[in-house]
Amino acid sequence: MTTPSIQTFNDLIFYGDPHGNFDPLIKEARSSGARAVFLLGDMEPDANMDEILAPVYRKVGFENVYMIPGNHDSDNEIFYHRVFGSRLASNNLHGRIVTVDSMRIAGLGGVFRKKVWFPKLALDEPWNYKSPEEYVQRIPPHARWRKGLPLKQRTSIFPSEFQSLSEQTCDILITHEAPLSTQPRSGFQAIDELARSMEASFLVHGHLHIDYQALPTESLKACVVGCEMAQVKRGADINRFLDCSAEQPQYSPM
């Protein structure tokens, strides 16, 4: 893929795991000319997401506000319904690609869980369940939640979803999980492989609450961006980092 348009990328906002704190995002949306907003999971909202994000919708436009789920979004029924029972759920980017102006932006929400699939060091790690449908078919009715996946597993990454996304291309990949190449203790090789197969120029993730940026390498030709908890990360900030890349170390906390 070609490098995304600098101006269009400048106008994007990525928001690290809110964990109930949406004030920085609302403030940024009100004061900036953001083109689109992407929430990276772990909402833990104290009300319905539409109520909380109403100021963002008014400023940016509902159709330009996207999310991916994090592991905590299925911690309990209250959090789940406040997120997935909102209009925002229709803009869930998990396993999907949207085009903002000329940029293709893909999302992979949720986390890898050993009960389903745990490709920590290699993409070919065996899975226990290939798809959500297989999981539901193989468990007894009493283990299902609302006749479907157990609540916790609704934020698990399944191989079928991963594979479907990997067969496409994007300019920007947003994930909840981190790549192994920049986070060897907590990241996953599968995330590196997904960014490579999709030919992403940028990989933006949450989950670990670490603020950093890493330059592309021979093995992963994408700029990797990690977001702190409840942190606004503007495309313009990332571009400034790249503009100064000749003077920067390969891994740079912001």
Higher-confidence residue of 184 and 246: namely 184
Nearest to 221 by CA among 251, 197, 248: 197
| Residue 15 domain-assigned (yes or no) | yes
Q: How many domains does the chain have?
A: 1
Percent of the chain residues topping a pLDDT of 70: 93
Give per-residue pLDDT as tens, 16-59. Answer: 999 999 999 999 999 988 999 999 999 999 999 999 999 999 99
| Residue 1 domain-assigned (yes or no) | no
pTM of the prediction? 0.93
> What pLDDT, on the 0 to 100 scale, is given for residue 237?
83
The dihedral over CA atoms of 4, 214, 175, 164, expressed in degrees to the nearest 10, equals 70
| Residue 109 domain-assigned (yes or no) | yes
- Residue 155 in this model has a pLDDT that exceeds 50: yes
Domain that holds residue 139: 6-253
| Residue 111 domain-assigned (yes or no) | yes
| Residue 191 domain-assigned (yes or no) | yes
CATH number of 139's domain: 3.60.21.10
Give per-residue pLDDT as tens, 104-144. Answer: 999 999 999 999 999 999 999 999 999 999 999 999 999 99
| Residue 59 domain-assigned (yes or no) | yes
| Residue 121 domain-assigned (yes or no) | yes
Tell me the residue ranges of DSSP E strands in 90-220.
Answer: 97-100, 103-108, 172-175, 202-205, 212-214
Q: Would residue 110 be called left, alpha or beta, if left means φ above 0 and alpha means ψ between -120 and 50 degrees?
A: left
Average per-residue pLDDT for the chain: 93
Give per-residue pLDDT as tens, 163-172. Answer: 999 999 999 9
> What pLDDT, on the 0 to 100 scale, is given for residue 181?
96
Mean pLDDT of 84-88: 99
Nearest to 173 by CA among 105, 97, 112, 111: 105
H or E stretch including 52?
Answer: helix 49-52
Nearest to 45 by CA among 105, 14, 11, 89: 89
The answer to which of 3-17, 19-33, 167-181, 191-205 has the lowest mean pLDDT is 3-17
- Residue 247 in this model has a pLDDT that exceeds 60: no
> What pLDDT, on the 0 to 100 scale, is given for residue 6?
52
Mean pLDDT of 3-19: 80
| Residue 148 domain-assigned (yes or no) | yes
> What pLDDT, on the 0 to 100 scale, is given for residue 4?
46
